[in-house]
Amino acid sequence: MARIGFIGSTARDSLRTFVDPLRQGLRELGYVEGQNYAFEFRWAEGKQERFPELLAELIALAPDVIVTTGNRPPMLAKDATNTIPVVAVAVDDPVEMGLAVSHARPGRNITGLSGAFQGILEKRLQLMKDIVPAARRFAVLINPFTYRRANFEKYLQEQNLEGVLGVQVIVLEARGPDDFDAAFATMARERVDAVAVLADATFWTHRARLGELCTKHRLPSVWGGAGYLDAGGLVSYQGDFAAMSRRAASFVDKILKGTKPGDIPFEQATKLELVVNLKAAKALGLTVPQSVLVSADEVIQ
């Protein structure tokens, strides 16, 4: 029986986003859980400092393959093992991250799917501008454990987003729930009109609190994943995590059948998903333009 290690950045409530689609993909390829494969799960529950310990536990079990989600786990796996195959789901550019020598031939023990879409931040902010046309200042909220602030500020400058959108954009940091109130107080002080919250394991775990703060401060928000909207977010525009996870099953299948991960090309996810939460719009007293609604893959009533 094949053993598949899975290290989740969040808690088990991410099963429907990542694990269930992976199971479905494996089932379509003829795998039956409990008969010819079994999972070994480890969950960080939004605590990034737990990744090294959890990864060490999985490596000690010597699974046939490890599946990771997000950027940090495969980066740690790169340094922790060069023998156990790793399928990295929803990472940024694997070559820039040092996970692969090239997209076509990764060359190491790691392969997978990139969820980095060129121009996605601009599109998110443009959505906010479409919904709040009078906006003059946007915030981008990041976790510095996951994203580097300097990189974002440099990118905003290079792309001239302020000139293109006609708004000022500020980047704010929050490492965890203890920083949330201060971040939103800064947004209030800076008279921010809307906020883009970037996908992160800690933000996912505490998304209910972030959603409450968006509602409390009457801030329209755009998020990196449809699951965040359960907590009161307004719009999500992101790669389809479920589709990526389902596709990851084919990578696992190839590895279990003997293909080296270094010979399996990294793939770029192609499906983007726009979800609009009209319940949140009503709470904020906003009318979402028809042009946005007709483009949505899903509208939450």
Other residues' Cβ atoms within 10 Å of the Cβ of residue 295: 13
Place of tokens 């443009």: 126
Q: What is the pLDDT of residue 270?
A: 85
Per DSSP, which regions of the chain are E strands? 2-8, 37-43, 65-69, 86-91, 110-114, 137-142, 168-173, 194-197, 221-223, 235-239, 267-268, 272-277, 298-300
Q: What is the pLDDT of residues 276-296, one digit of tens each?
A: 999 999 999 999 999 999 999
Question: Are 6 and 41 in contact, with CB atoms under 8 Å apart?
Answer: yes
Q: What is the pLDDT of residue 215?
A: 92
Which residues are 221's β-sheet partners? 195
Q: What is the pLDDT of residues 128-158, one digit of tens each?
A: 999 999 999 999 999 988 777 887 778 778 8
Other residues' Cβ atoms within 10 Å of the Cβ of residue 204: 24
Look up the pTM and report it: 0.82
Question: Are 91 and 70 in contact, with CB atoms under 8 Å apart?
Answer: yes
Closest CA to 234 of 86, 90, 94, 135: 135
Look up residue 12 and give its amino acid. Answer: R
C-alpha neighbours within 13 Å on the C-beta side of residue 15: 6
* Residue-wise burial string across 218-244, b where 16 or more C-beta atoms lie within 10 A, e elsewhere: ebbbbbbbbbbbebbbbbbbbbbbbbb
Q: What is the pLDDT of residue 13?
A: 64
Question: Are 10 and 205 in contact, with CB atoms under 8 Å apart?
Answer: yes
Q: Which residues of the chain fall below pLDDT 70?
A: 11, 13-15
Pairing of strands 86-91, 267-268: unpaired
Q: Give the three-state DSSP class for 233.
A: coil
Report the C-alpha gap between 177 and 26 in whole angstroms: 36
Q: What is the pLDDT of residue 119?
A: 81
